[in-house]
Structure 1
Amino acid sequence: MDLQFFLCWRVAPLFLLMPSGLRCMSVHIVNKEPVHVILGSNLILRARMERGPLEDISMVTWEREPETGIDPVRRTLAACPGGNPTCAGARPNIRVNVEQQETTLLINEYSTADSGVYAVTVTDHRGARTTAYCIVREYEAVHHVSVSINVSHSTLVCGEAWGTDPHFSWLHEKTTINQAVGKVSKDGATLFVTMTPICGHFTCMVSNKLGDSSATYTAAPCETGGRGTTAAVVCLVLLVLLCGGVLAFLLWRRRRHTNRGERLHEHLDDGI
């Protein structure tokens, strides 16, 4: 008894000095939160498990509860003993894999009812439990795109209702924005207009994995190059007519002077 007490007294401080990862089990979900899933596709959640050399996993449990609600009810999706590499879930489309340092939850044909807060709980051989959480939501298409203008700052702002992971792009008169027109913000939602005056059609296009939508802001019409060309042609025609008129006048005047000289010469001949 004295020897056992001595050994426990000598070994206990060593456990206290061990890093936390060696003294107790931990788990965290590696998916970037929140996880957005397209309806009908597969939901895959992965959790990393870290345990000490003296720790054994006795149970891995996956659960889900609604994200909102006064009294949300947590439902067990699967409970897998630590020694089993795979196990079936509460429904036929649910399966769980358990490895030495990772556990994976797979739900086939994701539906709206599968949205919520997911929890994975790892229980060690002593009954100690550690839990990690992750929010899962439905992947939404883009909706209700709009464009507003801030005249004082010469900016156009594109807004979108609730689409998941929206990507913004801008067009001016159906062509990509260039430096002569303006500059797009880093997130793509704002266009800083540099052209003066602001004119033409500005279109904001918003897209994600489920499609795209757009909205257009219409300013005053821009003066097109065709009008300038027409004005140049008119000026050229007028210049040609003016030059032609001057040339015709000079020819007429020269001819008149010549005819007058001939008549004077004939008159002098008759007098002689």
Structure 2
Amino acid sequence: MSLQWMSCVLLSLMCAHELQSLSVSFTNPWPFHVAVGRDLVLESSIEILPGEELLMLTWERNVGTEARRLATIEATRQATTQDSRISTENNGTILRISGVQESDFGRYTITATDGNTGTQQSAHKYVRKSDRPPETSVVLLCDVSAARAQWDRPVVTWLLDGVQLTNQTSHYTSEDGAKLHLQEVKGRNYTCISNSSLGTSEAHFLLADSSVSRNTCAHWSSMIAAVLAVLCWR
């Protein structure tokens, strides 16, 4: 029994050593979204124990039941790729594909092979098509100084041309109310009011009236033209 027990312990230690000697993972665990024509960069992380040797890295793309080898990185760190659009960086741990095409979407797999034991470890990443670009916005930030300690967080209220933005218009602001999305609201006089245990303060932002500027320019242009006409007539 003691010999059998020792054999089990030794086998367990050997298995644990193999499992821990090499690990592969992606730095970002979530699926990636990329638009057609853009560049795709997949970054992986490989950990290997001192004394162990990394024999080979491979990158594959799986679409359904089909798998295509994209790149192979030998122990010499020389990479072989199957497409001129494909390149590797950082000793093969980073895969880059330029000018993404429809056929580039699917599941990507990186596999590392231990040179001493021959064991392999893999990690997967799904790459999906981005149908539309992300929404962008210009915001006004109600920045409240926190130089003094307080027990509560400021409550921010926005006024647009003197009228408070209500709950029905709360989607114009960020979740904490500190940011106001200018694409969503139209006005000239923006006021943010901060209310907390420290007291109440407010700040104003006034947009220039472009119509006034245009009328002013037109007025002076007419004046200058009239003066020039008189001078030329003389």
TM-score by length of 1: 0.45
The structure with the largest helix share of the pair is 1
Tell whether 2:122 aligns with 1:131: yes
Match of 2:82 among 90, 107, 111: 90
**Which secondary structure does the structure 2 equivalent of 1:74 belong to?**
strand
Check the 8 A contact 1:21/1:51 in 2, yes or no.
no
Match of 2:37 among 19, 35, 40: 40
Distance in structure 1 (CA, Å) of the matches to 2:73 and 2:39:
20
Point out where structure 1 has 5 or more consecutive residues left out of the alignment: 1-8, 142-163, 170-174, 189-202, 206-272
AA at the equivalent of 2:120: R
The percent of aligned pairs where both chains have the same amino acid is 26
Check the 8 A contact 2:60/2:70 in 1, yes or no.
yes
Report the structure number with the largest CA radius of gyration: 1
Check the 8 A contact 1:39/1:110 in 2, yes or no.
yes
Q: Could you say which structure has the greater relative contact order, defined with CA pairs below 8 angstroms and 6 or more residues apart?
A: 2
Check the 8 A contact 1:88/1:94 in 2, yes or no.
no
**1:1-272 correspondence to structure 2 within 5 Å:** 16=13, 23-66=20-63, 69=64, 72-84=65-77, 86-99=78-91, 103-125=93-115, 126-141=117-132, 178-179=165-166, 181-184=168-171
Distance in structure 2 (CA, Å) of the matches to 1:24 and 1:110:
35
Q: CA deviation at 1:129?
A: 0.4
Say if 1:165 and 1:135 are closer, same or farther in 2 by CA, change over 3 A: farther
Q: CA deviation at 1:204?
A: 8.1
Mean alpha-carbon deviation: is it higher for 35-44 or for 54-63? 35-44
AA at the equivalent of 2:62: E
TM-score by length of 2: 0.51
Q: CA deviation at 1:93?
A: 1.1
Point out where structure 2 has 5 or more consecutive residues left out of the alignment: 1-5, 139-160, 176-182, 186-234
Mean alpha-carbon deviation: is it higher for 21-30 or for 122-131? 21-30
Tell me the residue number matched to 1:241. Answer: none
Check the 8 A contact 2:18/2:119 in 1, yes or no.
no
Say if 1:90 and 1:81 are closer, same or farther in 2 by CA, change over 3 A: same
Give me the CA root mean square deviation: 3.8
Q: CA deviation at 1:50?
A: 0.5
**Which secondary structure does the structure 1 equivalent of 2:170 belong to?**
strand
Tell me the residue number matched to 1:229. Answer: none
The count of residues paired between Structure 1 and Structure 2 equals 147
Q: CA deviation at 1:82?
A: 2.4
